[in-house]
Amino acid sequence: MESIAFYLLKSALWLAGFTLIYLLFLRKERFFRLKRAYLVAGVVMSLFLPLVTIHYNVELPAPVVPDAQAATMAQAINPQTAAEQHEQKSPLTMFFLIYAVGLVFFLFRTLLHLFSLYRTMRTGSVSRTGDAVMVKTEKYTSAFSFFNYVFINPSVSEKEAREILNHEMVHLKQKHWFDLLLVEMMSLIQWMNPFAWIYSALVRQNHENLADEEALQSTSDPAGYRAALLNQVFNARLISLSNSFNFSFYTNRFDMMKKKTYSPYRKLKLLLVLPLMAGMLLAFASPRFVYAETVSTSELTISQPASLIQNSVRGVVFREDGTPFPGVTVNVSGTSLSVITDGSGHFEFKGIPENVVLVFTYKGYKYLPLNPVTKKEMIVRMEPDPNWVDPAVIKPDTSVKQKPRQMVVVDGVITDLTLSEVIAKMENDLGIAKSLTFNEAREKYGEKGAAGVIEIYSREKAKELGMTVPLRRRSQGDFPTFRGNFYTTFNDWVISRTKYPPEAAAAGIEGWAHVSFTVEPDGTISNIKPKGTTNPLLANALAEVIKTSPPWEPPKNPGMNEPFTSEITANFSLPDKVGGGEVFVVVEKMPVYPGGDEALFKFIYENVRYPAEAKEQGIQGKVILRFMVASDGAVEDISVVKGVHPLLDAEAVRVMSILPHWTPGTQGGKPVNVWYSVPVSFSLSSGEETQK
């Protein structure tokens, strides 16, 4: 309903603009045929241009969202309570009620006039003159034409009737009825817009000028023609679908009949419509954001946003006694970026987004959130947590051995560097990263891989081994397009055509649905499959629509014409609503947790409970979660982007699911859905410590 109301508003503004240009600059001009073309084009464009939206790209540094190649998909705005929806939609419902009543009234009035004309044609005296059918009736005192029918009062003299017929034949020959049908349809659609009725009158005025111009050229008695016109002056108004001989009688109409010579350059006034159109299109233009891209595989996602991220941060961490502190975990809020301080306590981020918080954590020490400093080296001092108790003191277990560090293998060569150090060193040369399971690591690398192994391949080595290296699509020209538009428009196309599955509605199934797909180099769609825990009935409803996609166009950059994977996300709400709306990665005002990022990490730190079974099995690692902060501030659609173990994954999701409402992000002053990503780290010391 909102989209229809917005369409009517834009259509009314377009028509108002065309009307004002005509009234101010064209009304008294004598190039009637060009003016007719202008008026007809104005009607058509006011009906269709509101459907056109110009997009302009805004490139923004995006928070890292480790996911498939396209993580910014369309989905529904979160449903509100029934009372809130009623309160918000009540004015809009009232508007459409009034609009519908007016539309029915004017439509009924038009049909009533048409029926009256039909009865007159059946009962009047009818005769044919050339292509025209003349109907003589006393019902109408003023002569007029309707399609190829000309209605004349029998009291009109033969000479006057001849001049009237001469005039009306011009209307018939030039098919002015087509213009009148257009303006009648426009007037019905925009009956609330006063400019619609003014525009309709202007069209008929120009018709009379066209008919006068040609009729005067063909008549042998110009004075008699003018006299016949004067005799028709004071007569009743007729329906809008007809051309009345005396319509719009004003003194300037006689001036228009005079032969005058004007400069042909006056026709250039028509070009004044160009700045009007440009201004209107820009006024309704919509920004389209281009976000930082990610590098991903099905098993591990390594983000590479350095080229689009703005700030670099480095510093050193000290213990309470002033000695360097190695092994401290430094997380960047809202992203999956994380490093561990080296042997001298130093840490460094090549680039991080703006408006984030660095969170320093270490077992036995207080959780420490700090704002990043970019202009100088940060000096960080950790403080012991007096409430922390070493589990080893409570329950000594000498059988537990110190676990070795996770091993990193680069292009088949074991390295002593940490994962973050390898990523920083390889930069854009990073190709594929693969995390081996514990069994795979031990089988391939023996006891060296007991703590886990990450295999990293450079882009060149990965291609040499026949691996598919994800492309780094950095600009709009690197992406395939859907019907000439940016690929995200496909989201709205799919959502608008998706029907709620009857089987799902009958079973009371609702919720979020995710379906990924691949655009092949030839523009066809393949590899359509559900993601995560999507219900098969809901996923199939989206998949069936995706299969009907017309061919896509390849990227403007030919070097990027390789398979492109994206995702459609929709919200199915009972009884039969399938919602759609863009979910942003970066917005003008990002969502904020109550109290900020410091409070968010504190909440996670205080509420995570290490699963007992995971402790016993020595399972540890970092779980990366992605969730949506909905337009009402609710945390929804939580998913595990990078998991460690079902036990740890489930605990991380549980904590995230109990988060209180956020202050939602806004775009253009309106609350919108925004993706957010948070890492939750689980680590053990003597078998039991949790670190977030």
Task: Specify if 617 maps to a domain.
Answer: yes
How would DSSP label each residue in 59-113?
Answer: E-PPPP--SSS----B-PPPP--HHHHHHHHHHHHHHHHHHHHHHHHHHHHHHHH
Query: Region 444-465: what's the mean pLDDT?
Result: 83
431 has a pLDDT exceeding 80: no
Going by the DSSP 8-state scheme, the letter that residue 395 receives in this structure is S
Which of 233, 260, 287 is where one domain is finished? Answer: 260
Least confident residue range of 44-53, 256-265, 544-553, 569-578: 256-265
Half-sphere exposure of 618 (CA within 13 A, CB side): 11
Establish if 109 belongs to a structural domain.
yes
Give the residue from 171, 164, 228 showing the smallest Cα distance to 203: 171
Q: What is the pLDDT of residue 473?
A: 73
Residue 305 contacts by C-beta under 8 Å, 6 or more apart in sequence? 61, 62, 64, 292, 293, 294, 351
Amino acid 687: pLDDT: 39
pLDDT, residue 229, reads 64
> Is the domain of 104 the same as that of 209?
yes
Q: Are residues 113 and 201 in the same domain?
A: yes
- List residues bridging with 675 in a β-sheet: 628
**Residue 10 clears pLDDT 50, i.e. is over it:** yes
Do residue 183 and residue 107 come from a single domain? yes
Q: What number is the average pLDDT over the span 499-512?
A: 89
Residue 305 lies in a domain: yes
Q: Inform me whether the pLDDT recorded for 305 exceeds 60.
A: no
Q: What is the pLDDT of residue 58?
A: 52
Whether residue 222 is contained in a domain is answered as: yes
User: Higher model confidence: residue 482 or residue 128?
Assistant: 482
- 54 has pLDDT over 50: yes
Residues 2-20 have a mean pLDDT of 89
- 223 and 340 fall within a common domain: no
Pair (168, 115) in one structural domain: yes
* Strand (E) or helix (H) holding 515: strand 511-519
pLDDT at residue 631 tops 50? yes
Number of domains in the chain: 2
260, 283, 315: which is the final residue of a domain?
260
Pairing mode of beta strands 286-290, 243-244: unpaired
**340 vs 488, higher pLDDT:** 340
For residue 85, the model assigns a pLDDT of 41
pLDDT at 659 over 50: yes
**CA pair distance 437, 443, nearest whole angstrom:** 10
| Mean pLDDT value of segment 382-406 | 62
What is residue 582's predicted lDDT score, i.e. its pLDDT? Answer: 64
233 and 332 fall within a common domain = no
53-67, 451-465, 533-547: lowest mean pLDDT where? 53-67
Q: Are residues 239 and 136 in the same domain?
A: yes
Give the rounded percent of residues in the chain with a pLDDT score beyond 90: 18
Q: Is the pLDDT of residue 68 over 80?
A: no
Q: Give pLDDT, residue 64.
A: 38
Say which residue, 662 or 62, is predicted with more confidence: 662
* Domain-embedded: residue 547: no
Tell me the pLDDT band of 12, cut-offs 50, 70 and 90. Answer: very high
Cα 656 from Cα 660, distance rounded (Å): 9
Out of 108-112, 298-302, 598-602, 609-613, least confident range: 298-302
One domain for residues 106 and 252: yes
Separation between Cα atoms, residue 345 and residue 330, nearest integer Å: 11
Indicate if 236 and 299 belong to the same structural domain.
no
DSSP output for 257-320? HS-----GGGGGGGGGHHHHHHHHHHHT-EEEEE----EE-SS-EE---TTT--EEEEEEEE-T
Q: What pLDDT shows up at residue 298?
A: 31
Same domain, 344 and 228: no
Tell me the pLDDT tens digit for each residue of 75-92: 333 333 333 444 444 677
At residue 518, does pLDDT exceed 90?
A: yes
From 66-70, 357-361, 446-450, 462-466, the region with the lowest mean pLDDT: 66-70
Q: Identify whether 542 is part of a domain.
A: no
Residue 601 forms part of a structural domain: yes
Q: Say whether both 301 and 256 belong to one domain.
A: no
Domain end marker among 212, 244, 260: 260
The boundaries of the domain holding residue 320 are 295-400+588-682
For residue 356, the domain's CATH number is 2.60.40.1120
pLDDT band at residue 688 under the 50/70/90 scheme = very low
Q: How many percent of the chain have pLDDT more than 70?
A: 79
Q: Are 140 and 249 within one domain?
A: yes
Higher pLDDT, 545 or 223: 545
Residues 6+ apart with CB under 8 A from 682: 608, 610, 614, 619, 620, 621, 622, 623, 644, 648, 651, 690, 691, 692
What's residue 223's pLDDT? 65
What confidence tens digit (pLDDT) does each residue in 14-27 have?
Answer: 999 999 999 999 98
Please give the structure tokens belonging to residue 376. Answer: 């100088």
Q: Which of 122-131, 172-181, 424-433, 480-489 has the lowest mean pLDDT?
A: 424-433
The predicted structure's pLDDT at residue 417: 86
Which tens digit of pLDDT belongs to each residue from 545-583?
Answer: 999 999 999 999 887 888 888 888 888 888 888 886 567
Q: Which residue has the higher pLDDT, 204 or 71?
A: 204
Nearest to 356 by CA among 112, 620, 597, 650: 597
Give the burial string for 5-17 (b: 16+ CB within 10 Å, else e): eeebebbbbbbbb
Q: Looking at the domain assignment, is residue 135 inside a domain?
A: yes
The answer to whether residue 273 scores a pLDDT higher than 50 is yes
What average pLDDT does the structure give for the chain? 78
The DSSP-derived string for 541-564 is: HHHHHHHTPPPPBPPSSGGG-S-E
Q: Look at residue 58 and give its three-state secondary structure.
A: strand
